[in-house]
Chain A
Amino acid sequence: MTMSHSKIKVLVQSNYSRMVTGFGKNMKNILLALYRDPDIEVIEAANGVPYGRDINTPWESYGTYPSDPKILKAIEEEPVKKRAAQYGFYTIDKIVEKVNPDVFLGIEDIWAFREYEKKPWWNKTKKIIWTTLDSLPILQQAIETEPKCDQMLVWASFAEEAMKELGHETVETVHGAVDYSHFKPLENRDDLRNLHSLSDNFVIGFVFKNQLRKSVPNILEGFKKFKSKNPEVKAKLLLHTDWGEKQHGWDIPRYLKEKDLEDGSVLSTYVCHKCDDYFIQPYSGEDKNCSSCGSEKSVKTKNSGKGVGEKELNEIYNMMDVYCHPFTSGGQELPIQEAKAAGLITLVTDYSCGTDSAYEHQGGLPLAWNEYREPSTQFIKATTCPESICERLQQVYEMDEESKHKLIETGKKYVQENFSVENTVEKLKNFIKSVELRTSEEEKEEEKSKETRLSIQDFLKDVPLEDRIAVVLPRSAGDVLMANSLIENLSQLYPDKKIFFVTQPEFYDLINDNPFVHKVIPYSSSFEDLYVLEGRGGHEGLFDMAFLPHCMTQKTYSYNHNGKDKTQFRLK
């Protein structure tokens, strides 16, 4: 792939640009800006959109999720493959071949690019990987990927420092491009607070998606301490989040009860899904009737499908006195910058990307934390100290107007200079224009697949191994009925053997009347390995013979021959 165009052709792969996620918003902002650049031609590879769907963007664009039913079926059964498919692993080659880009710019979590270095185009094009690394120690995959791409960019300076300490000197920080133009201090701030009955309150705010990495119990405990220390202050904690999310997030009402905070001091934001009007009030369940437009059951706390608009979110920030964002780790945490732009002092855990927002020169105050290890990954994570939250709230509450003003102005300026779309895109353009092709590294060895172990002895124990025949046909009702018609003859061919028929339980009815079947066994993927079934080397196997007739008809289509093949013998 050579630079044969007058413009640099850049293929950008990330979340679909209309997706309301951090990556999605970033994608939208950089594509809109790069599209207008006279030196660059952008093409979007949109993760989360099926390949072939027209997404009507001003630029050329392709969905990266597979649309081939056979691939879809295969990935449905294997979560690892499904995840890779969501990151475009199975279609990106086709897109690169079609587009022939000068530069590939991949913007995702680092694991999205797993095994990209083995792609046929990887060594033939220039590539920039712009990724989020949110915890220490740095993920091994990032360390291995860095030398294999022309430029690695990270979203947070803490990750840049950690990579440099490991000897990866060329890693640079480019913060996600966020459009802050909607977030600013409002002149009618007092009117808004009046309207929502918050005029004489000290309002502490936290805007977040309800995930376990947001430290909800910590902020509730810190708030409680602040309240008991300052009983005369009418303190309110506004949690602008999806309160209804209990499966993957915090059960906030339960914690309010546990911490004895059911006195109306913790507030939620409700939004009407019909008229978009929003209300601030203590949480009282989902699906409320709208007092504004009169719709029934249309009012809910925000969720990933529906929230308030950016104008309204700015109003919500403007009703706060201080913004507090305790978290275990994160990629960028957009609300922190939004809050600064809206004119708030931000209290932030100074770990992970928090180090880009937590300090006074950034318009913030750091929250102290303790280290713990995430059980599944062993990563260092932060648990923010409630005492520190209480102390910082006290500090802001008691702060004189001049110091407050100074800190707020510092924050606003810092966001403008470091997180604006213009700033990010400018940096990105420079990287795009200056990337160098690097020679390829040796390919990694493939991970050996783990041998799955069967647990079917209970079905087999009444028949000696040498007398067992398995017929494996996992699915399709018609196919099982067809196989049903073969079993009598198979039994006659091997009169001393017992036939075990392996299929999914929903098809048992189509085989269990056959007197020549000894037992029907529930199918699992372990039955796909003939060596496991028939044995090899020191493993004696489970059956004397195993037939897997579906391999030619369901795993691969190797029998069709355009309907023209013949046999020299009669099978009926």
Chain B
Amino acid sequence: MSHLVEVYAKDLGVKIGEPYLKPHFFPILYDNYITIHNDNKVQSKEYDYWEEVIVLVKKQAPEINFIQIGSGKEPTIKNATKFVPTLNIKQSAYIIKNALMHVGIDSLPVHIASSFNKPIVAIYAHTYASTCGPVWGHKKNHKLIESHRNKEKPSYSLKENPKKINLIKPEEIANAILKKLGKNKCSHKTLYVGDKFKEKLIHIIPDNKYQVSSKNVVLRFDLLHNEENCIHLFRNNNISIVTNKPLGDEILNQKNINCVNYFSDRFDEDFIKKVKNKGLSLRLFCTSKENLNEERYKFFDYQIALIEDAEKIELNKKQIKLPKKNFKIRSYSIYMKNGEAYHSLFEANGKENLDDIFIDLEKLMVYTD
């Protein structure tokens, strides 16, 4: 099969040789490090779970440092030992040359690492790895992980929604790294990761007067409509509101409201006018398929989406078969209820109703360990 470099070689009528690239010195204060590279320039290449990969590797090999390389414009991998942006690729080449291994997405650093015959763990989804993987160095040094893409062919698209690269499980990458380091495999087994797993929101179910400070607070009046417990929160936070009933003036007069998300089968016109007059951003969600077009006509200036919980639960049940016991849940979001913080609505509601998982599924990682 034709690799890109073979296509170029055939066109020029020559054999493939070695590239000429002279690394430029760049000071690195760490030994025992792996270079890691992620980028969002091509959205379909960017992998969202490097932080989970690092956690799993560090569990088995705590002495290893992860040095993130790039130009500085890439999103930071928060638990990498250090992000070392360089002024040019030749400085990055120096860092790669002195690393134990290179780990990352399909991009230039993989090819540079291969030109130095470094061990490589690289991931692919929107193209075949065989057409654009590392060119130089020993094949046994290369571990190329390709997304199963839900049995689809590569999209060759710069943008995918959802991204097929995220179908690669963090433990698959972590185990490949650990194997190259001569370490034992991790026991983590990912069962499901939702598209919004990385979203960091603090959902407050207002059964208490919670003290929080964050730019990402969501007041869940749809789960408990108690306005009195919330007024103090507006002083220090940017707040999004979710409600299925009109809100009182005291709430609407608060500053720092990001937006009001109003769920209803029939919207209250006076409330909508009031929210508009306050200059607040308002999003409408119709909970009845039957009423949808009539509500869209009546409130044409709003883009009204259809949200039906029962339908959502049924659809999400098809996404994952939950084991009967011993599964765990992670999320970057938090639910405040009963004076405690929980990682999911399921836990906040006392783990009584599995439907709570399916309502929230896009925000969760479900796994066993």
Binding site for B on A (CB under 8 A): 17-18, 28, 32, 35, 54-58, 69, 73, 272-276, 293, 295, 471, 473, 477-479, 481-486, 488-490, 492-493, 509-510, 513-515, 547-549, 552-553, 557, 559-567, 570-572
Contacts and interface: CB of A to CB of B under 8 A. Distances in A.
B310 interface: no
Given A58-B296, A69-B158, A559-B2, A481 B8 contact: no
Contacts of A560: 2, 127-128, 131, 156
A490 B14 contact: yes
- The 5 A-B residue pairs with the shortest CB-CB distance, nearest first, are A489-B14, A484-B19, A477-B108, A482-B5, A549-B11
Contact of B279 (A58, A272, A559): A272
A293 to B, nearest CB: 8
B279 A478 contact: no
Interface residues of B, number: 56
B10 interface: yes
Given A471-B12, A513-B20, A514-B19, A482 B111 contact: yes
Chain B's interface: helix, strand, loop or mixed, by majority?
A: loop
Contacts of A32: 297, 300
A481 B16 contact: no
Given A478-B107, A478-B132, A482-B111, A571 B9 contact: yes
B1 A478 contact: no
B107 A56 contact: no
B8 A18 contact: no
Nearest to B153: A562
B132 A572 contact: no
B8 A514 contact: no
B4 interface: yes
Given A471-B12, A490-B12, A549 B7 contact: yes
Given A276-B277, A547-B11, A571-B9, A479 B17 contact: no
Interface of B: 1-2, 4-22, 88-90, 106-108, 110-112, 115, 127-128, 130-132, 135-136, 153, 156-159, 255, 277-279, 293-294, 296-297, 300-301, 303-305
A486 B158 contact: no
A553 B12 contact: no
A562 B156 CA distance: 12
Contacts of A473: 8
Contact of B18 (A28, A58, A485): A485
Contacts of A515: 20
A485 B111 CA distance: 11
29 contacts: A35-B297, A58-B293, A58-B300, A69-B158, A275-B279, A478-B4, A478-B107, A478-B108, A481-B112, A481-B115, A486-B5, A486-B8, A486-B9, A486-B12, A486-B17, A488-B18, A509-B88, A509-B90, A515-B20, A549-B11, A560-B128, A560-B131, A561-B2, A564-B1, A566-B1, A567-B6, A571-B6, A571-B10, A572-B16
A481 B1 contact: no
Contacts of B130: 563
B128 to A, nearest CB: 4
B297 to A, nearest CB: 4
A548 B8 CA distance: 9
